[in-house]
């Protein structure tokens, strides 16, 4: 059970602003002028930062259209974060018409430069057939690239692929290995799946206490399937 939604993956990826200065009111004008000067001179980092500022409304009114303009300028110069951001904008239709093909295009460009979040997003696109033909083997390839860089979502997704034999031979022990890596980073879905592995004994020695431990961690993050499973376990095993 993974319950992966592509939009959720990229929304998480977009949620963190990397390297974007938070601008207080007193410094807003001078900082923006300096950024605009650099950006208009072709500085890709400044262009990407302007995109972040407009996207998140840091010190200026939020404006997705302007964000896309600056993300695109930086992305076309090869700025990997801007490429990923632009892919996200195309997926959600923020500042540009939603276009799954273009979302995949920009995710791929960032992924091929080694960006772990973009690699995970591209894997999800292959898995869900979003903007590209569904291809579980390619999903596994990209999930692995991201997982090996420590991306928790990719680690959980790779575990799911191993558990279900999706795009790769079924291997419960490998599934548990990747669930553990993601769960230890706080990924609620992986924590739930790891709890299920302990409960069933698939890929690891059956252990009721460990199952409950990981399900509680997942449920504490308000992950509904884990909450439901804990309720079921309580009803079935009232003395444990």
Q: Does the residue 189 lie in any domain? A: no
Q: Does the residue 187 lie in any domain? A: no
Q: Does the residue 103 lie in any domain? A: yes
Q: Does the residue 11 lie in any domain? A: yes
Predicted confidence at residue 240, as pLDDT, reads 59
Q: Does the residue 77 lie in any domain? A: yes
DSSP string over the chain: -----HHHHHHHHHHSPPSPPP--HHHHHHHHHHHHHHHHTT-HHHHHHHHHHHHHTSSS---HHHHHHHHHHHHTTT-HHHHHHHHHHHHHTSSS---HHHHHHHHHHHHHTT-HHHHHHHHHHHHHTSSS---HHHHHHHHHHHHTTT-HHHHHHHHHHHHHTSSS---HHHHHHHHHHHHHTT-HHHHHHHHHHHHHTSSS---HHHHHHHHHHHHHTT-HHHHHHHHHHHHH-TT-
Mean predicted lDDT score pLDDT of the chain: 89
Tally of CB atoms within 10 A around 205: 8
Do 6 and 87 touch, CB atoms closer than 8 A? Answer: no
Q: Does the residue 164 lie in any domain? A: no
Q: Does the residue 94 lie in any domain? A: yes
Q: Does the residue 204 lie in any domain? A: no
Q: How many domains does the chain have?
A: 1
Predicted confidence at residue 111, as pLDDT, reads 98
The CATH number given to whatever domain includes residue 47 is: 1.25.40.10
Which structural domain range is residue 71 located in?
Answer: 6-134
State pLDDT tens for residues 2-45.
433 223 333 334 333 333 334 344 456 888 899 999 999 999 99
Predicted confidence at residue 152, as pLDDT, reads 98
- Lowest average pLDDT, out of 10-14, 149-153, 159-163, goes to 10-14
- Lowest average pLDDT, out of 3-12, 110-119, 125-134, 194-203, goes to 3-12
């Amino acid at each position: 059970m993974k319950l992966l939604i592509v939009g959720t993956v990229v929304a998480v990826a977009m949620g963190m602003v990397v390297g974007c200065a938070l601008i207080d009111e007193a410094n807003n004008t001078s900082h923006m002028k300096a950024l605009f000067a650099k950006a208009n001179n072709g500085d890709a980092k400044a262009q990407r930062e302007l995109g972040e500022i407009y996207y998140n409304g840091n010190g200026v009114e939020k404006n997705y259209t302007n964000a896309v303009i600056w993300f695109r300028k930086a992305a076309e110069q090869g700025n990997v974060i801007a490429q990923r951001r632009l892919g996200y904008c195309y997926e959600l239709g923020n500042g540009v018409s939603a276009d799954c093909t273009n979302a995949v295009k920009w995710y791929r460009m960032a992924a091929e430069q080694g960006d772990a979040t973009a690699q995970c997003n591209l894997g999800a696109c292959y898995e869900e057939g979003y903007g590209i033909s569904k291809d579980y083997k390619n999903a596994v390839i990209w999930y692995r690239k991201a997982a090996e860089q420590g991306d928790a979502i990719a680690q959980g997704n790779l575990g799911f692929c191993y558990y279900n034999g999706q795009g790769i031979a079924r291997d419960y022990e490998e599934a548990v290995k990747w669930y553990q890596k993601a769960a230890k980073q706080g990924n609620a879905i992986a924590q739930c799946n790891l709890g299920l592995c302990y409960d069933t004994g698939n890929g690891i020695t059956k252990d009721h206490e460990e199952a409950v431990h990981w399900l509680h961690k997942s449920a504490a993050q308000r992950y509904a399937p884990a909450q439901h499973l804990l309720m079921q376990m309580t009803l079935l095993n009232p003395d444990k």
